[in-house]
Amino acid sequence: MKDYAGRNALVIGLARSGLAAARLLHSLGARVTVTDTKSEEQLGAIVRQLPVRVERFLGGHGAVRLADFDLAVISSGVPWDAPFPRAVREAGIEMISEIELAFTRLSAPVIAVTGSNGKSTTTTLIGEILKAAGRNVFVGGNLGAPLCDAAGGDYEWIAAEVSSFQLEGIKTFRPRVALILNITPDHMDRHGGMENYAALKARVAGNMGEGDTLILNAGDPLTRGLGGGRARVWWFGQSAPHGEGAWAGADGVASIRAGGLAGALFGPADVRIKGRHNVENAMAAALACVAAGAPLSAIKQALASFGGLPHRMELVAAIDGVAFINDSKATNPEAAIKSLEGFDRDVTLIAGGSDKGLAFGALAEVIRRKAKGVVLIGETAPLIEEALGDFQPRARVSTLDEAVALAAGWSAAGDTVLLAPACASFDMFNNYEHRGAMFREAVARLAREREKCR
């Protein structure tokens, strides 16, 4: 394990992962300073959780003397090429991400999950399977608890969701098992293009070697080209792989041929989470746990009990026979497409949000084929509207309450109102969780109003 005692460490960005990095470094004997563009008042409770002897430069980086530091840890929310991090690197200071810092202090093997969509569901499901198998497992990373919180813990496995932002700053990070679920356009505003974005996702496997397992989506054109390293490769998808892996037929029955196992894995009735994309997530999670030594019985037990995560195809309510589904986690067009593709009945879509530099042409094609109508919100509403061409009915509104009320008015018993924004949330909300919570509240208000009218 790497020693940080006596290091002069600067933590850039004091969000959840920055706080965890600062606390870990302080506990290991480093002299720690934190800096953030937000003020102490804006950061609130986060600042109060810092150890007393951690120095703070808040409200900007202007007072930070780079000559005082020999290590920097950057939070995932801070762009790697922003002016201050660039100045840190140009000063010759070693700069790493929070997951790299954590990895140097972990005593358990890591299962790392990345991809454009499905990371949180798959990571959580891996944790549930390993728990069913009796393993002591930490579940976190970009999901829930930061990876630094696992350092020093007595775990048998670490299941970590890792993002492209976090992978920008790794050096030695080497998972025992890595999953790349898919690579579709996302975060183009930060990464500048698909080539760079795909290369960052592929970094999760860059340090893997013999004895490690890389799990790839056989149906994704970008992940298909990532095999060929020293790690063994297992595949998942809709058709039987040439090598080892798992696959599901049109009937939703999944089979496995990997790790000495061969035969049926699960059927549609065995999995609580619904949708074709979740069949793929379940196969990927199962393969990861087979690589970790979990028995099929634990996989089947967890799949039968796992009901999914909040804000991911979550049934909020049924009002007058209309189902209201919260998929606020659909923060890019491909995720929204997968949401829409999961329905075979009339759907009114609520979409729109902050602009990540993504194109909406493919989403518009699926909307024309699958949706009964579209209600648009946020700064991307004009862009989606332009992509839709002459599709009707559609409308642009200012609030989620207006969107819910209008979508409900277009719907009849048996229909669905689906929040699948295809965009980030930061133009109107704090994050996708906040957006999903506001959708729930808007639906609850609609239900109360309808009840009053009876």
> How far is 435 from 319, CA to CA, in rounded Å?
20
Kindly report whether the peptide bond that precedes residue 185 is cis, defined as omega within 30 degrees of 0: no
Contact indicator for 182, 217 with CB cutoff of 8 Å? yes
Among 26, 61, 119, 356, the one annotated catalytic: 119
61 is catalytic: no
119 is catalytic: yes
Half-sphere exposure of residue 196, counting CA atoms within 13 Å on the CB side?
Answer: 11
> How far is 97 from 167, CA to CA, in rounded Å?
7
Q: Which helix (H) or strand (E) holds 324?
A: strand 322-326
> How far is 200 from 206, CA to CA, in rounded Å?
10
Among 26, 61, 131, 142, the one annotated catalytic: 142
How many CB atoms neighbour CB 272 within 10 A? 14
Distance between terminal CA atoms of the chain? 66
Instruction: At 198, give phi and psi (nearest 5°).
Output: -65, -40
Please, which residues bridge with residue 178 across strands?
Answer: 112, 214
Mapping DSSP onto H, E and C, the string for 336-386 reads HHHHHHCCCCCEEEEECCECCCCCCHHHHHHHHHHEEEEEECCCCHHHHHH
Nearest CA-CA partner of 121 in 271, 323, 264: 271
Question: Could you tell me which residues come within 8 angstroms of residue 124 by beta carbon, excluding any fewer than 6 positions away?
Answer: 139, 143, 306, 309
User: What is the DSSP annotation of 124-192?
Assistant: HHHHHHHHHTT--EEEEESSSB-GGGGTT---SEEEEE--HHHHTT-SS---SEEEE----S--HHHH-
Q: Which helix (H) or strand (E) holds 276?
A: helix 276-291
Q: Sheet of 8-12: strands edge to edge?
A: 55-58, 31-36, 8-12, 71-74, 94-97
> How far is 111 from 180, CA to CA, in rounded Å?
11
> How far is 347 from 324, CA to CA, in rounded Å?
10
115's torsion region: left (phi>0), alpha (psi -120 to 50) or beta?
left
- Which residues are designated catalytic? 119, 142, 187
